[in-house]
Amino acid sequence: MPDSPTAPPTPPIPLAELLAREDLGLRRIAGPDHADLLWVHTSEMADPYPYLLGGELLLSAGVLLKDADTYVARLVEAGAAALGFGVAPVHDTVPRELVEACDRHGLPLLEVPPETPFTAIARAVWRLMAEARHRELRRVTRAQQALATAAARPDPVPAVLRQLATQLAGRAALLTADGEELHAAGRRPAPDAGAALLRLARVVSPAGRPAPASATDTVGGTQLSAYPLGGGQGLVLALAADRRAAGDHTVAGIAVVLLSLLTAPHQGADAAGRSAALVRLLLGADPADVTPLLGTAGPWTVVHARRPGGAPADPLTAGALGTALGSALVDADRHAVRVLVTDAGRISPQPGWTLGASAPAPVTALAAADAQAARALGRAEATRTALAVHRPPTGLTELVPRDLAEAHARTLLAPLTEPLTETLRCWLSLHGSWDRTAVALQVHRNTVRQRIARCGALLGTDLDDMDVRTELWFALGL
């Protein structure tokens, strides 16, 4: 059900904590032994119902007490948490009919000794509330720091959910409006609680209607809650825990903000423009004519990224990487994540990722830039560096006319097929290291040896000769 109006800005105080204060001398003589106190109120009215907000410890000396059963029934109807009855100066003992009425209606009844003024009880409750509030703030601060640290991880969405599940000692899941579970952490609730959680998710993400900021329910002792994420993505944070502690709602709110930022689409380029660019490309438009729809004319830098060990990246994690690099143009497949970046200054090592970046290129040369980024990523993995950037040939290459250099390179490398050319380029860039080349190309080292040997045979040259290597490196760089 949708949440009720907000509670007071202090956590409730368990009745047991107040009873544990020996200096007050309070004694429970009727009703249940547990209650949560939100306020303290003193009244000698025959019917204080109109002036109660709910959750009060009502203090009274019974000045106008006549019909105990009606009096207690009205207190319970108003939502009072407990009744504290002073045995002086009107009554010497707590009236028996009041004790019986509290037992009958399930309202905790406390006996207040003559030497304990009501103001002392009120002061004790406020002090306990202040202490509880301080504990809650400390807990929320620690949780906020932990969640922010999780959001900075390379897999921010799963990391935030794992941390949230730990903080709440329960289950945290990110759901679509249709109930599909995108990510989850923590112990899965019982089937009936899980079904109720899906219903809550639909409550906070109704199609075409305003939605509440949160919704809660309790099923079989499991506390359930759901929160819609911002950004218009239709995503819902669903939580399940065995208990609901003070500060849980605030901690969940922090997670909602972080997850909303992490899952929201990057708005650096207009979404409609990007869609139009894609449609025109599919319909055969020239890339140069489509580029202005993406919000910039370039130059562009292609970035290839891979998780350690080659673990696949889900779309949300890939999107978070794109956001970190300042781009919404992200493609994630099972091999690597590719990001198209217009601000090369944003490209920097990212925790939990290995990156390879091309040289800046115009839109007409993106295919070549994509190949550069792939090679740079392979070199970064082979050399165990977080980021490798393709460097265009400079120096002596500038002394030879480019058309003559390219003609010589085509003639020299003509016997080689593309896989052999790429293997030779990678092998030379890694100073002839078999193992590093194998890592960079993601093949076995024996495959590298066989390909290099084949290159030497086709070229009819000795690849151990430094002059030969230099000439080949010059040709491969064109």
**pLDDT given for residue 318 in this prediction:** 81
**pLDDT given for residue 85 in this prediction:** 95
- Cβ neighbour number for residue 39 with a 10 Å cutoff: 21
Boundaries of CATH 3.40.1390.20 in the chain?
A: 13-128
**pLDDT given for residue 298 in this prediction:** 67
Spell out the CATH class of 152-263.
alpha beta
**pLDDT given for residue 1 in this prediction:** 43
273 token code pair? 């423009």
How large is the angle between the packed helices 156-168 and 118-151, nearest 10 degrees?
Answer: 150
Among 214-218, 239-243, 295-299, whose mean pLDDT is lowest? 295-299
**CA dist., res. 347 & res. 380, Å (int):** 14
pLDDT over 60 (residue 267) = no
Tens digit of each residue's pLDDT (9 = 90 or more) over 335-387: 788 888 888 888 888 888 899 999 888 877 888 888 889 888 888 888 888 89
**pLDDT given for residue 5 in this prediction:** 42
Tens digit of each residue's pLDDT (9 = 90 or more) over 80-107: 999 999 988 889 899 999 999 999 999 9
DSSP reduced 3-state for 85: strand
SS (H, E, C) the chain: CECCCCCCCCCCEEHHHHHCCCCCCCEEEECCCCCEECEEEECCCCCCHHHCCCCEEEEECCCCCCCHHHHHHHHHHHCCCEEEEECCCCCCCCCHHHHHHHHHHCCCEEEECCCCCHHHHHHHHHHHHHHHHHHHHHHHHHHHHHHHHHHCCCCHHHHHHHHHHHHHCEEEEEECCCCCEEEEECCCCCHHHHHHHHHHHHHHCCCCCCCCCCEEEEECCEEEEEEECCCCCCCEEEEEECCCCCCHHHHHHHHHHHHHHHHCCCCCCCHHHHHHHHHHHHCCCCHHHHHHHHCCCCCEEEEEEECHHHCCCCHHHHHHHHHHCCCCCEEECCCCEEEEECCHHHCCCCCCCEEEECCCECHHHHHHHHHHHHHHHHHHHHHCCCEEECCCCCHHHHHCCHHHHHHHHHHHHCCCCHHHHHHHHHHHHCCCCHHHHHHHHCCCHHHHHHHHHHHHHHHCCCCCCHHHHHHHHHHHCC
Q: Give one DSSP letter per residue of 267-285, joined into a string.
A: -SS-HHHHHHHHHHHHTT-
**What is the pLDDT of the chain when averaged over all its residues?**
84
Boundaries of CATH 1.10.10.2840 in the chain?
A: 395-476
CATH number among 3.40.1390.20, 3.30.428.10, 3.40.50.880, 3.90.79.10, domain 13-128: 3.40.1390.20
Residue 285 or residue 372, greater confidence:
372
Overall size of the chain counted in residues: 478
pLDDT over 70 (residue 285) = yes
**pLDDT given for residue 308 in this prediction:** 78
Tens digit of each residue's pLDDT (9 = 90 or more) over 151-203: 888 788 889 999 999 999 999 999 887 788 888 999 988 889 888 888 888 88
- Cβ neighbour number for residue 420 with a 10 Å cutoff: 17
Q: Is residue 264 classed exposed, middle or buried when 0-12, 13-18 and 19+ CB atoms within 10 A define those classes?
A: middle
Boundaries of CATH 3.30.450.30 in the chain?
A: 152-263
Tens digit of each residue's pLDDT (9 = 90 or more) over 147-162: 988 888 878 888 999 9
The CATH topology of domain 395-476 is: Arc Repressor Mutant, subunit A (1.10.10)
